[in-house]
Amino acid sequence: MADKETAFSNATGFLMSDLSVVIVGAVGIALFSWSAWVSFSHYRQWQRNEGGVTLDDVFSSMIRSALLVMLVLLILN
């Protein structure tokens, strides 16, 4: 078992027990998925002319979600 842990730590640069990398990665993936969902949802509303969404609303929602993702990833770093 110790040989596997040594090989893993040599290959990746961190220990198997270090879960912070996994947690930050999962949060990052969730944030990017959320940002894509928000952008795509606003784009669909604009495309279907639902709710009076303008193209400026689509761009502003994309920019806001991208800024939020960058801010959270900066804090997690």
When pLDDT is cut at 50, 70 and 90, the band that residue 4 belongs to is: confident
pTM of the predicted structure, to 2 decimals: 0.68
Q: Using CA atoms in the order 34, 40, 43, 48, what is the torsion angle rounded to 10 degrees?
A: -120
In this structure, what are the phi and psi dihedrals at residue 49, rounded to the nearest 5 degrees? 55, 45
The pLDDT tens digits for 48-65 are 988 888 889 999 999 999
Q: Is the confidence at residue 10, as pLDDT, over 80?
A: yes
When pLDDT is cut at 50, 70 and 90, the band that residue 6 belongs to is: confident
